[in-house]
Amino acid sequence: MSIYSLAIVGFGGMGSQHGDLLKKVDRIKIEGIYDIDNNRKNYAVENNFKSYDAFEDVLNDDNVNIVLIATPNHVHKEIAIRAMEAGKNVICEKPVTLNSKELEEILEVSKKTGKLFIVHQNRRWDEDFLTMKNIYDEKLLGETFRIETRVQGSRGIPGDWRKEKQFGGGMMLDWGVHLIDRLLVMVDEKIKKVYCSMSYILGADCDDGFTLNLTFESGKTAVVEVGTSNFIALPKWYMAGTEGAAIIEDWEMNGRLEIMPKKDEADAKPIVAGAGLTKTMAPRLEGEVLIKELPIVKSTILDFYNNVIDVLEDKATPAIKNSEVMRVMKLIEAAFESHETGKVIYFE
């Protein structure tokens, strides 16, 4: 059973998280790290990792089978191409690149060299997503007609490269890429219409949030939303179906399902609501809906690294397919086009 040697390029926040996680993967050994920042090099050495002096040293190290890229986004393409041309397989952080054209260039090199290129779309292993996907797949709400997925905070964009467009900053490429990726894994349908508005509340040159509206082929709709100036956050997930609804409120997985147990009910009685009466919007009475706990799906992100090993040994197909990553990049481009033109984009 072979052990794969991996070098981490970019040892900041995410690079060091990979370092921690990979300690739990028996068949991958961290050969060393490379970072352009001496402080990060020193930090790596303090944590018992070998630190390469130059990126060329990683490329020339015959022990290294896999290069893991965890640098800011604008250099993913160049590092990935150079690594594959030097005979290394590549795991790349999200967003894969700044646009679909850059991804095409990478995929050509992957094809030419026969080296694996896979993107770390780790949030496919998040419990909130897997739980909502389970509800969707099992039709626990009947036919789903509406999905909302969002993250909202109030701390603005971090003050690093994420604030600047030239480095691939902005929330669409940061959180957007995760939320869109997961939604498209959940809903196995063509997308008909895309409409997006970006926010620039904080005055950065890249988006600090956005609201993306999608209409799928069947007519079901989705909202993908990211905000960084939201002191009260809306629910992370809301899903509505013909027989019920589901909600996940927050990171702590507070939420529930409300499901209608029977059909052919009597007409609702009007209630006094505000300055008027309403029958249509009268809340359900006790016993009219079943309130259920979320069917939580557990997972481990270590499965991502194990899949990489299985793919290298021809035992599995990639858990993250490059065709899926490309579709997300093209959708992101359509979202920017919609924002810039103010128009609905007809997508697929």
Provide the minimum distance between the beta carbon of 122 and ligand NAD in the complex, in angstroms, as a whole number: 5
Would you call the peptide bond into 295 cis, given omega within 30 degrees of 0 as the criterion? no
CB 297 within 8 Å of CB 126: no
Of 224, 174, 229, 237, the C-alpha closest to 338 is 224
CB-nearer residue toward ligand NAD: 36 or 316: 36
Provide the minimum distance between the beta carbon of 189 and ligand NAD in the complex, in angstroms, as a whole number: 26
Provide the minimum distance between the beta carbon of 29 and ligand NAD in the complex, in angstroms, as a whole number: 20
CB-nearer residue toward ligand NAD: 216 or 304: 304
CB-nearer residue toward ligand NAD: 161 or 195: 161
CB-nearer residue toward ligand NAD: 71 or 110: 71
CB-nearer residue toward ligand NAD: 31 or 35: 35
Provide the minimum distance between the beta carbon of 162 and ligand NAD in the complex, in angstroms, as a whole number: 8
| Token pair belonging to 258 | 């409300």
CB-nearer residue toward ligand NAD: 170 or 244: 170
The count of other CB atoms within 10 Å of the CB of residue 141 is 22
**Pairing relationship of beta strands 345-346 and 191-199 according to DSSP bridges:** antiparallel
CB 288 within 8 Å of CB 269: no
Contact residues for ligand NAD (CB under 6 A)?
Answer: 9-15, 34-37, 40, 70-73, 75, 93-94, 120, 122, 160
234 phi and psi, to 5 degrees? Answer: -75, 165
CB-nearer residue toward ligand NAD: 34 or 49: 34
* Residue 30 vs residues 21, 59, 91: alpha-carbon distances, Å: 11, 15, 13
Provide the minimum distance between the beta carbon of 61 and ligand NAD in the complex, in angstroms, as a whole number: 15
Chain position whose Cβ is nearest to ligand NAD: 12
Q: What count of Cα atoms within 13 Å lies in the side-chain half-sphere of residue 348?
A: 15
Render the burial of 119-129: b for 16+ CB within 10 Å, e for the rest: bbbbbbbbebb
| Token pair belonging to 71 | 């640098």
**Helix, strand, or coil here: 260?**
coil
Provide the minimum distance between the beta carbon of 72 and ligand NAD in the complex, in angstroms, as a whole number: 5
CB-nearer residue toward ligand NAD: 94 or 115: 94
Which value, in Å, is the radius of gyration of the alpha carbons in the chain?
23
CB 93 within 8 Å of CB 70: yes
Provide the minimum distance between the beta carbon of 173 and ligand NAD in the complex, in angstroms, as a whole number: 7
Provide the minimum distance between the beta carbon of 253 and ligand NAD in the complex, in angstroms, as a whole number: 18
**Helix, strand, or coil here: 160?**
coil
